[in-house]
Amino acid sequence: MTSTSLQKSLDLQKGLFLIRYDSAEDTAQPPKVTLSLDPQSARNVEFLLPPEVEEPVLWSPGANVVVRVTAPARLHLELSARSAGGSLGARIQSAALSTDPLGLAALDEPPVDFSGLRLLGHLAGRGDTLVGLGEWLGGPMAPTRIEGVGIDWAGRPHNFGLRHAVRLGGPGEPRATEFVEAGGYSGSRGRALPLTAATFEVFGAAAQHYEITADAIFLGSPQMKVTGQRVVVSGPTGREPLVGLRLQIVSTKAPSLSQPALPRTASGKSRSSAAKAASGPGAAEPPAKEPIRSGSGRVRVFRSRAAAKG
């Protein structure tokens, strides 16, 4: 029997978003798209609808609805065919709305102080361990199964945040957690359930000018490095235990006139960093491993680049 409805979910971070019905496979009878809230997210989401419209329903391509999200939340999208055996193929897009898309307001603010930020990790056989930015949890010299992570940040500024989520291994299928911000914890303790993936993301008005660099080691795999405002680390199969993790956060602001940028080598690195790489002990770190994204089904939910950055 052919299904007449299909459900998908969409995770949104704090912000204002435009949800747009972009296109449909059957333009004559496009499926109806009904938006609803995950019960746990209900108090964090508000649909901004036209007057006299009571339900967030997108009837055809070109339809839009604005969503205001005050904390990370999940929306459900239900697509309903117009007739028995009708098409359920559709493309839905989400885009973040902002009054300052270039982050110019943050350029005049002082640099974010990360001196009080600590990465918490629950290490097998060692318990909770705190390290600073640029320091390893586990790592190449002492690889240890990491069972959970958290962020401890005394004096966190109001305009910059850091959130994270993980995937837990163990018996059965890996289980993903929801995003939590500084002060929260993702994972387990004392249950011998290793992390098999981790995601870190910066957000807030000042976050547009900063990037995370995550170095990670998964059991039996080479060290990997990922840089961006949202970074995802995972082993080759997605089941390898995480045994080393190091985070750094750097500014991407253009250097001031009083502090010109260092000249670049042919490889694109500054001469300072190239010299350090040449003189440092051991072999150079392997190139970054880009996260692989894949999708399935006929309903395609896309995020704009701005939305992905939060």
Higher pLDDT among residues 172 and 95, named by residue: 95
- What are 11-55's pLDDT values in tens digits? 888 889 999 999 999 999 999 999 998 888 888 899 999 998 999
Sheet of strand 5-12: strand arrangement: 5-12, 73-80, 32-37, 57-58
Residue 159, Cβ density class (10 Å: 0-12 exposed, 13-18 middle, ≥19 buried) = middle
CB 244 within 8 A of CB 136: yes
> Residue 61 CA to chain centroid, in angstroms?
28
Q: Domain locations in the chain?
A: 5-100, 111-254
The SS3 assignment for 276 reads helix
- What are 45-81's pLDDT values in tens digits? 999 999 989 999 999 999 999 999 988 888 999 999 9
Residue with tokens 């493309």: 91
Closest CA to 32 of 54, 4, 52, 53: 4
User: In which band, very low, low, confident or very high, does the pLDDT at 286 lie, cut at 50, 70 and 90?
Assistant: very low
Q: Please give the CATH number for the structural domain made up of 5-100.
A: 2.60.120
**If phi over 0 gives left and psi between -120 and 50 gives alpha, with beta otherwise, what is residue 2?**
beta
The SS3 assignment for 94 reads strand
Residue with tokens 């918490």: 120
User: Of 39-48, 170-179, 244-253, 280-289, which has the strongest mean pLDDT?
Assistant: 244-253
Closest CA to 91 of 177, 5, 163, 19: 19
Residue with tokens 């660099």: 213
Mean pLDDT to the nearest integer, 92-110: 81
Which residues, in sequence order, are CB contacts of 112 under 8 Å at separation 6+?
157, 160, 206, 210, 249, 251
